[in-house]
Structure 1
Amino acid sequence: MLSILIVNWNTCEYLRRCLRSIAEHPPSVPLQVVVVDNASKDGSAEMVRSEFPWVELEASDKNLGYAAGNNIAFVMARGEWQLTLNADTEFFDDSLQAAVDFMEGRKGAGVLAGKLLDPNQQTVQPSMRRFPTPGAILPEMFGLAKIFPKKFGDYRQLDFDYSREGEAEQPMGSFLLFRKSALNDIGLMDERFPIFFNDVDILFRLKGAGWSIWYSPEVQLIHHGGRSTKQIPKTMIWESHRSLIRYYWKWYQTWWSTPLLVLFSGIVWLGALVRARGWNAGYRP
């Protein structure tokens, strides 16, 4: 069984198109679709109830965040294959079955990412990253990656070939097909990363547990991009920076690195202040 898990916040029309595309291009394996609605104000939950009664809906009375919403969906999921899918995506071919077939053929694969396309179905969206190690992220923070992309642009994997399948490090979380046994090994999303870096963290843990991370161009879908986070840009800028700080304190803290992490945190906070043009509290449930 394939379980598709969608966390939604105020993207009613995009969610409608996403669910309709799943219904029009279902996999041949049994299918379960779970929608966790984070207290949307745009009628999303009511739309799912009335138009897609076959969807299992969990309507929260508050915004739990992306990680907590997905964890609710993971608990509800019954499939061996569990797909975390953004609400602002659409399918137009048999990519859901292609994704399951791909994973069934690679026993050591813990997760699969697909090719994200603009609505024109032609333009490929850059969606691959390296893990945000200090060597990868510091040139990004200081602008060196933009000035000298060939030398310092490794974090964004500008040379990634989206026409070929292969192992990857950190695909964007818009479409991530997990093997249930891999999730059983490492646990669910860390809710200390409510909006951002929860996908980075879970992929990093998968890699550390010996599971491989794959990309396949045969799995493709339209991605409209950031339809929830763009509604509150200043809040999301601050939340992304705070989540980067949390990620570093989680994975890089030692007795000798603490002073460096304090300095790093200050630099990231300053970057958020500049990019957001002011202070913001970030995500609050």
Structure 2
Amino acid sequence: MSERVMIAVISWNTRDLLEECLRALAERAPAAEVAVVDNGSSDGSPELVRSRFPAVTLLQPERNLGFGPAVNLVGRQTEAPWLIAANADTALEAGALEQLLESAARRPDAGIIAPKLVLADGATQHSVHPFPTLAVGAAVALGLHQVSPRLGDRICIPGAWNPERARAVDWAHGAFLLLRREAFDAIGGFDERQWMYAEDLDIGWRMRRAGWSTIYEPSARVRHAVSASAKQAFADSELRQSRAAYAWMARRQGLPHARAYAALSLTGATARIALLALPARLAPKRYGAALARARRWRALHRVGLGNRHSLTEGFDDAPSPDGIRLPG
């Protein structure tokens, strides 16, 4: 690897996973520079870095910065042409960094290159998504991806997309992202108002508006333990993520757009619940799980019908679960 790469690992109370992450980086990306931003862990994570990984730079801000601002902190301290934003619950597989850099070399328009994220059971995590446009909301609500597999693959719908196909996507999960420094600097890095969740949606959106692409590269594989920190911080991390996405929509696309998207999603979910109610009663083993998913989908999107205050409450100057105030 001839390119200079700085890897920013963002850590909060996942000591064992952090150790696995750093060991994988030491073995599979030995030439990369690594910095850990510890956001106030109480499980011995900082001590682990100091004692077992002396070559890793440890940064301990006075408060919990969240994800995006912590990556920005590392970015300000390096001139490396490539920056990786990584959760501590990820582990690089052999050859993944080289594959990401090769993909970036083939696509000079790529501001973000995302790997395939692999779950503990070996399954592929659904980690790429379309922007939440009203056209996408209507297509999902009407189930058009079930009628047209090509559409489902094109807009990366769970269960309908091909995870083995490299492609340009709207945005990718921020668990592990290779960022082209030129593009990252051009848009001002992560928006620090996105304290936790939707920062990956936001940076993908701003990259696109600035003329940069996000590329999904499945030949690069990264293991992911999925929301290891968030599950400790929030009683319902999925609901928190949904609220963050709708707060983002209200800020970037306008409150009417957020409400319209929520209404489309709720209409589709309510229709599916109505269609599944009787079959699930008659054959619960066959239809019960689908009914439960539809009800969960409705619950997650109901938050989008709120007013601006209810959407942003908890994201603007409100206390987080660990007592640290969130930046606005």
TM above 0.5:
yes
Change in Cα spacing, 1:249 to 1:91, as seen in structure 2 (3 Å) is same
Q: Answer yes or no: is 1:218 the counterpart of 2:219.
A: yes
The two structures have a TM-score, normalised by structure 1, of 0.83
- In the TM superposition, what whole-angstrom CA distance separates every residue of 1:38-95 from its partner, at most 9, and x where no partner exists? 0011111111111111111111232121122121122123311111111111123121
Residue-pair matches, total: 269
The two structures have a TM-score, normalised by structure 2, of 0.73
Percentage of identical aligned residues: 29
Change in Cα spacing, 1:234 to 1:133, as seen in structure 2 (3 Å) is farther
2:6 to 3, 9, 12: 3
Q: CA deviation at 1:107?
A: 1.4
Unaligned runs of 5+ in 2: 266-297, 304-309
Provide the residue aligned with 2:125 in structure 1.
Answer: 125
Q: CA separation in 2, counterparts of 1:245 and 1:106?
A: 31
Provide the residue aligned with 1:209 in structure 2.
Answer: 210
What amino acid does structure 2 have at the position aligned with 1:180? R
Q: CA deviation at 1:169?
A: 1.3
More displaced, 152-161 or 59-68? 152-161
Provide the residue aligned with 1:19 in structure 2.
Answer: 22
Q: CA separation in 2, counterparts of 1:117 and 1:48?
A: 25
Contact 2:134 2:261 in 1 (8 A): no
Change in Cα spacing, 1:206 to 1:230, as seen in structure 2 (3 Å) is same
Q: CA separation in 2, counterparts of 1:32 and 1:173?
A: 19
**SS of equivalent residue, structure 1 residue 76:** coil
Change in Cα spacing, 1:96 to 1:262, as seen in structure 2 (3 Å) is closer
Q: CA deviation at 1:37?
A: 0.5
Q: CA separation in 1, counterparts of 2:301 and 2:214?
A: 34
What amino acid does structure 2 have at the position aligned with 1:40? S
Higher-Rg structure is 2
* CA-based RMSD: 2.9
Q: CA deviation at 1:114?
A: 0.7
Q: CA separation in 2, counterparts of 1:223 and 1:44?
A: 18
- In the TM superposition, what whole-angstrom CA distance separates every residue of 1:75-131 from its partner, at most 9, and x where no partner exists? 1233111111111111231211221222123211111011111234x3211111111
Superposed, which structure 2 residues align to 1:120-199 within 5 Å?
A: 120=121, 122-137=122-137, 144=141, 150=146, 154=155, 156=157, 158-199=159-200
**SS of equivalent residue, structure 1 residue 234:** coil
